[in-house]
Amino acid sequence: MKIIQYPSPNFNERPLAAKIDCVVLHYTDVATLDEALQILTDPNRESRVSCHYVIDEDGSIYQLVPAEKRAWHAGVSSLEGRENVNDFSIGIELQNGGYYAGYALTGSWPEFPDAQINALKELLNHLMTKFPITIERIVGHEHVAPKLKIDPGPAFPWGKIRKI
Ligand SMILES: [Zn+2]
């Protein structure tokens, strides 16, 4: 698995006792990978954001923040009663027009190509060997922030991911 390093300054330390045990999946909600990388590495935005990995539609994987550090992707969130999901999760963004660069413009949700999903599965397998992440704890942003977020959205093929 080839991972392209593309460091973002947008991260901080995880709390000392935090154990990484889940993955949060997102769509980028913008038209191009370049646009996504720009946003996720910009130190000057009013609300600075990042994630650990970005996967392009062709399956290229970019690492923006080391897994051991706390990336800023989930915002106000909770999982199984635990708040601040950024503290204990790995965040993966999938390049996909989502709502704003997809559904809102065309009336249909952009698909996630097989090459992208295969790369995601490979990355998830790797992360599950490295950290105590179970299949049930591979979740969407929509699951940890249901009132605020809808990504990775209705086009995301959960069936393919659950079969890892
Ligand atoms: Zn998200």
Residues with CB under 5 A from ligand 1 (ion): 26, 141, 151
* Terminal CA-CA length for the chain: 16
Q: What is the pTM of this model?
A: 0.97
Class of domain 3-162: alpha beta
CA of 132 from ligand 1 middle (Å) equals 22
Q: Please report the pLDDT score of residue 163 as a whole number.
A: 63
Nearest to 85 by CA among 46, 38, 138, 122: 138
Instruction: Supply angle C-alpha 155, 158, 160, rounded to 5.
Output: 110
pLDDT digits (tens, 9 = 90+) for 12-23: 999 999 999 999
Which is catalytic among the residues 80, 93, 136, 142? 93
The question of whether 46 is a catalytic residue gets the answer no
Structural tokens at position 49: 């954001």
Instruction: Say if CB 108 and CB 137 are below 8 A apart.
Output: no
Q: Please report the pLDDT score of residue 62 as a whole number.
A: 98
CA of 97 from ligand 1 middle (Å) equals 12
Q: Please report the pLDDT score of residue 53 as a whole number.
A: 99
Residues of the chain with pLDDT under 50: none
The domain ranges of the chain are 3-162
- C-alpha distances in angstroms, 154 versus 10, 59, 68, 78? 28, 20, 30, 21
Question: Any bridge partners for residue 24, and if so which?
Answer: 91, 139
Alpha carbon distance 59, 33 (integer Å): 12
Q: Please report the pLDDT score of residue 140 as a whole number.
A: 98
Q: Please report the pLDDT score of residue 162 as a whole number.
A: 80
Q: Please report the pLDDT score of residue 144 as a whole number.
A: 98
pLDDT digits (tens, 9 = 90+) for 21-33: 999 999 999 999 9
Instruction: Say if CB 27 and CB 85 are below 8 A apart.
Output: no
